[in-house]
Structure 1
Amino acid sequence: MGTDMDGRVQVRPGGPGTPWADADLDVGGIPRSYEAFGLLFGVRNVAGFVPVAPARGIPGDAGADVLAAAHRFDDHYEHSWVTWAELDRIDWDRPAPVVNAWLSRYRVTAGRLVRVGKGGWTPPDADPAEGAEWRDGDVVWRAERAVPREILDDLPELRHRLDGMRALAGKHGGDNVRMIVWFYG
């Protein structure tokens, strides 16, 4: 059994000091991605990212419906939140500080390597050096540091939510748009 994420995106249309309202962006529709969870909130951080917003809890002004949803089940944990202003400061091209615990998988296509994902195989070396490779037919596994932009490439559902938050921030300001999350499983 793995870990999944749920939550809400909220906007404060009137600016600071006014109530938050749920936006029409479903956080629960984002598929499981330990690299994304680690980058944003430090949960299941297989890539070793320095998380943007680890375990902040649910904000006190989130509203009764958010509090009820976040605590609906006993297995909800690692509650946190992050504003668009904080997300907007992520350097999407800066590699994680350490080699990813999950290997990158490439397929040899027309004589060149095409990245097709992560994980699914464990190398014989428990702690492989960056750049180490293993081949199995037309599949190449490589130990490398994760790059946040690759998360967005692999996870269009997250990209869609972040694009929605960016649009809301363009209208209301980056500190007036936030994602509140909790994890379960």
Structure 2
Amino acid sequence: MSTDVSGMIECRPLALIWGEDDEDAVWHAAIDLFLLNTGNAYDALACLFGVRNSFGFQPLTEDRGLPEDASDGLRDAFNAWGGPQDAHGTTWISWAELAAANWDETDRSGTLSRRTVAGDETHWAPVWDVMRTLGELHGPEHVRLVVWFD
């Protein structure tokens, strides 16, 4: 049985202008991963999120759950997909964390790097492009990727 990734990029545009504690500095659903055609290459899912990690990567993020302050759009998509009863590995990561990651880190065998399996030259490039652009506009800490798996 295969494992597929679902999720969404969110951003919090008014946090940069008004501050994170402002009542209008809420998260907004930006784009569904489905539209960015990430695929389900297990080596990428392993190094990014710890899912199907027979490769021995140290994942960038793993099992953080759905963010408490998730946008209504994200919650609606997550619940329409099946919610916590049908999802596993739900987690999130900010653009600031992704930008600071060691993309040259390798799997247990030392043959696959994070950059090789999920970097800017892979099927994840459109995701990173969207997040990078939103991060430049709204600040890298105000952009995040939220994912779950079936």
Tell me whether the two structures share a fold, i.e. TM-score over 0.5.
yes
Please, what TM-score do these two structures have when normalized by structure 1? 0.68
Per-residue deviation, residues 80-135 of structure 1 (Å, max 9, x unmatched): 10000110112222222x12xxxxxxxxxxxxxxxxxxxxxxxxxxxxxxxxxxxx
More helix by share: 2
Partner of 1:122: none
Larger radius of gyration: 1
Say yes or no: does 1:146 pair with 2:112.
yes
Partner of 2:103: 92
Partner of 1:33: 41
Change (3 A) 1:82 1:154: closer
Query: Contact (CA 8 Å) 1:47, 1:145: kept in 2 or not?
Result: no
More strand by share: 1
One-letter code of the match for 1:2? S
Per-residue deviation, residues 32-67 of structure 1 (Å, max 9, x unmatched): 111111111111113211111100000111133322
Aligned-CA RMSD value? 1.9
Say yes or no: does 1:2 pair with 2:9.
no
Structure 1: gaps (5+ residues): 100-143
Please, what TM-score do these two structures have when normalized by structure 2? 0.82
Partner of 2:128: 162
How many pairs align? 138
Change (3 A) 1:20 1:182: same
- 1:153 Cα deviation from its structure 2 partner: 6.3
- 1:23 Cα deviation from its structure 2 partner: 1.4
How far apart in 1 are the matches of 2:119 and 2:94?
22
Identity value in percent: 34
